[in-house]
């Protein structure tokens, strides 16, 4: 039985047995169903158990994971996963996590592991350069867009509002990810202080409505302080008018935040730079490497133009901590976020990028842009299909449309349409509601999704029309 301090032979055996299962799983991803959730809840209910007093043989635990628990899920790492915003699960990052977790170094304060902190700071400098931010930018890696957004909102509150901030108002489009509204509430604002500005027919924030809302709020004694733009919405991939939002924020004295969790890394491509023009003007920017850099879930990032603002907001002292230092080459990440203890996230970006270079990531993102454009054109050519939102990046939205049907009837028709597509289990799409209309979405983002899988998706969409 393995002990708390396994021998070298035991460690090698554990890793080799796990690796054999992992490799088999990854190699079979193309042939696995895109979704296998039928019966998954029933299985989950059978897995409850009391605290074990004694251990279980490792091969039995691997059997439970790879034969039962893992298959009973959405195949989010597979090439057919075209729903929500696909993640990746890059294997190189898993190797990095094994190293990080095994050596278990503390990187919240730089004196604990200066060289490792410097490697993570390099990663943040790379992200800064990708985003087009200035040298004074500071940032940090987080668990994902939700935590990044919360840190951005709290930082903006500290920089733009007095201690009594309850009249402060935030402005985002009605297509903005719900993490923003949740973050505002967690940061202490009344939920009603988050103003959802109407979007236009392209699902982009309406500047006229935003300007009117800000004026009305000032008249009523509120203090507008924050405006958020989208560099690719979750619903349709829409990109808000970012240069115009940046100009408005400067005029009105607002903090300009951009959600680039899904779309931000498309700036690596020439096409993406044009589409995302203005993103580089933000005061704060959320990026999710676990989306469009294909890394495992739990890899987010935040960049703040005035890097000192992060420290002003989150700095704290305690008798049991080392003295606070301000060294731009060796940042104390605990001084820039709520986290004192944190995992060493830097290696899961540093290792893949150093090993592969950035070029393969750029090429993969360009491939997704091309595939999304071609797929949208093919879907639009199908009889009875309405293209609700053509792709600005790698996501588009469409639906069936039949003259004479009510909105409720069309919603039922499209809900059934989605079920028929997914029932074939070669691809997995998701739906959403756009201005009250149920609509299908296809997001082509996984590094494992190529033309052959997109062609399968098109075949299944066409077949579902005929069923």
Q: What is the pTM of this model?
A: 0.97
| 3-class SS of residue 399 | strand
What is the average per-residue pLDDT within 221-233?
A: 99
Going by DSSP bridges, is the β-strand pair 255-260/284-287 parallel, antiparallel, or unpaired? parallel
What is the average per-residue pLDDT within 82-100?
A: 96
CATH architecture of 98-356: 3-Layer(aba) Sandwich (3.40)
Rounded Cα gap, residues 85 and 78, in angstroms: 13
Listed in order, strand segments (DSSP E) in 405-448 are: 430-434, 437-443
- Residue matched to tokens 């399968």: 456
Rounded Cα gap, residues 70 and 89, in angstroms: 14
Q: Which string of b and e fits 288-299 if b means at least 16 CB within 10 Å?
A: bbbbbbbbbebb
Residue 247 confidence (pLDDT) above 90? yes
H or E element in which residue 141 lies: strand 138-142
If one counts every other C-beta atom within 10 angstroms of the C-beta of residue 252, the result is 17
| 3-class SS of residue 201 | coil
Rounded Cα gap, residues 147 and 353, in angstroms: 23
Encoded tokens for 101: 């977790």
Predicted confidence at residue 322, as pLDDT, reads: 85
Rounded Cα gap, residues 446 and 205, in angstroms: 27
Nearest to 417 by CA among 403, 433, 434, 401: 401
Rg of the chain taking only CA atoms, in angstroms:
24
Sheet holding 385-389, edge to edge: 385-389, 395-400, 437-443, 430-434
Residue 2 confidence (pLDDT) above 80? no
Percent of the chain's residues with pLDDT above 90? 96
Burial class (CB in 10 A: 0-12, 13-18, 19+), 40: middle
88 touches 294 (CB < 8 A): yes
If one counts every other C-beta atom within 10 angstroms of the C-beta of residue 436, the result is 8
Q: Is 79 left (phi over 0), alpha (psi -120 to 50) or beta?
A: alpha
pLDDT tens profile 440-456: 999 999 999 999 999 99
Encoded tokens for 446: 């996984």
Q: What is the mean pLDDT of the chain?
A: 97
Q: Is 188 left (phi over 0), alpha (psi -120 to 50) or beta?
A: left
If one counts every other C-beta atom within 10 angstroms of the C-beta of residue 89, the result is 20
- Residue matched to tokens 């050519």: 381
Fold of 359-466: 3.90.1150
What is the average per-residue pLDDT within 273-293?
A: 99
- Of the pLDDT bands very low, low, confident and very high (cuts 50, 70, 90), residue 312 is very high
Q: Which string of b and e fits 448-464 if b means at least 16 CB within 10 Å?
A: bbbeebbebbbebbbeb
101 touches 460 (CB < 8 A): no
Predicted confidence at residue 1, as pLDDT, reads: 67
Residue 324 confidence (pLDDT) above 90? no
Encoded tokens for 84: 């929500």
pLDDT tens profile 101-153: 999 999 999 999 999 999 999 999 999 999 999 999 999 999 999 999 999 99
Rounded Cα gap, residues 72 and 61, in angstroms: 16
Q: What proportions of the chain, in percent to the nearest 5, are helix, strand and coil? A: 50, 15, 40
Polymer length of the chain:
467
- Residue matched to tokens 């098109």: 458
What is the average per-residue pLDDT within 291-301?
A: 98
DSSP state of 391: -
- Residue matched to tokens 């039949």: 402
Rounded Cα gap, residues 158 and 443, in angstroms: 36
Predicted confidence at residue 457, as pLDDT, reads: 99
- Of the pLDDT bands very low, low, confident and very high (cuts 50, 70, 90), residue 323 is confident
Rounded Cα gap, residues 224 and 147, in angstroms: 23
pLDDT tens profile 336-367: 999 999 999 999 999 999 999 999 999 999 99
């Amino acid at each position: 039985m393995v002990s708390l301090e396994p021998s070298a032979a035991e460690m090698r055996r554990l890793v080799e047995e796990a690796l054999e299962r992992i490799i088999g799983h990854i190699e079979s991803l193309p042939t696995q169903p895109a979704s296998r959730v039928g019966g998954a809840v029933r299985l989950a209910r059978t897995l409850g158990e009391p605290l074990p007093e004694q251990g279980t043989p490792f091969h039995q635990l691997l059997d439970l994971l790879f034969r039962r628990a893992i298959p009973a899920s959405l195949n989010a790492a597979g090439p057919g996963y075209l729903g929500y915003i696909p993640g990746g699960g890059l294997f190189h990052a898993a190797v990095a996590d094994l190293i990080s977790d095994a050596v278990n170094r503390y990187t919240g304060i730089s004196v604990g592991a200066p060289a490792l902190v410097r490697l993570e700071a390099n990663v943040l400098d790379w992200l800064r350069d990708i985003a087009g931010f200035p040298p004074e930018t500071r940032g940090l890696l987080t668990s994902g867009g939700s935590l990044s957004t919360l840190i951005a909102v709290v930082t903006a509150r500290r920089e733009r509002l007095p201690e009594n901030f309850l009249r402060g108002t935030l402005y985002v489009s009605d297509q903005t990810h719900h993490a923003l509204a949740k973050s505002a509430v967690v940061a202490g604002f009344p939920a009603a202080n988050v103003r959802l500005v109407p979007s236009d027919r392209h699902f982009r924030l309406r500047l006229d409505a935003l300007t009117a809302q800000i004026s009305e709020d000032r008249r009523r004694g509120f203090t507008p302080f924050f405006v958020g733009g989208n560099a690719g919405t979750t619903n349709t991939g829409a990109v808000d008018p970012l240069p115009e939002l940046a100009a408005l924020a400067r005029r009105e004295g607002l903090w300009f935040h951009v959600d680039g969790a899904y779309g931000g890394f498309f700036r690596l491509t020439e096409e993406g730079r044009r589409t995302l023009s203005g993103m580089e003007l933000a005061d704060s920017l959320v990026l999710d490497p676990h989306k469009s850099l294909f890394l495992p879930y739990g890899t987010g990032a935040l960049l703040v133009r005035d890097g000192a603002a992060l420290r002003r907001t989150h700095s704290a002292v305690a008798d049991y901590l080392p003295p606070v230092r301000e060294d731009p080459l060796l940042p104390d990440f605990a001084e820039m976020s709520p986290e004192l203890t944190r995992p060493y996230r830097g290696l899961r970006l540093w290792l893949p990028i150093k090993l592969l270079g950035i070029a393969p990531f750029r090429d993969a993102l360009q491939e997704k842009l091309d595939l999304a454009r071609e797929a949208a054109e093919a879907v639009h050519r199908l009889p009875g299909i309405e293209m609700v939102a053509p792709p600005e990046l790698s996501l588009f939205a469409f639906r069936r449309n039949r003259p004479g049907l009510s909105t409720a009837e069309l919603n039922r028709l499209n809900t059934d349409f989605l079920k028929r597509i997914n029932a074939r289990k070669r691809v997995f799409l998701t739906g959403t509601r756009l201005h009250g209309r149920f609509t299908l979405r296809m997001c082509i983002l996984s590094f494992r999704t190529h033309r052959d899988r997109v062609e399968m998706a098109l075949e299944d969409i066409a077949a579902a029309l005929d069923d």
